[in-house]
Amino acid sequence: QAQLVASGGGLVQAGGSLRLSCEPTGHTFHSTGWFRQAPGRERELVGTFTWNSGSTYYADSVKGRFTISKDDRNTVYLQMNSLKPEDTGVYYCAARLNFFEDFSYWGQGTQVTVSP
């Protein structure tokens, strides 16, 4: 059964960096997405990585600061630089089997807190 294991959250000061990891087991996916949810707000898409092409998509709010990549073991990373307090939230990785499907495989959330 496919699973995603997310890790790497923590507390950082504004302007700092964190790297989140999402390790999939049990399946090969079409793409991985990173989502986040701040207190009192809806979950939002941060960005996506397409496995076979390496193409990426980023939300405007993180473009130029966040980078998604994948290694040879299919672990997908979210490198977050120049962090802002508004980046605070629970971050989730998710995966889907093809472009036309929803992200139906979810990892556990990891908390990211950016202090002013």
Query: What's residue 28's pLDDT?
Result: 86
End-to-end CA distance of the chain: 41
pLDDT at 29: 92
Per-residue pLDDT of the chain (116 residues; tens, 9 = 90+): 778 999 999 999 999 999 999 998 888 899 999 999 998 999 999 999 999 999 999 999 999 999 999 999 999 999 999 999 999 999 999 999 998 999 999 999 999 999 99
- How many whole angstroms from its chain centre is CA 65? 13
Q: Which amino acid is at 88?
A: T
Phi, psi of 87 (to 5 degrees): -85, -5
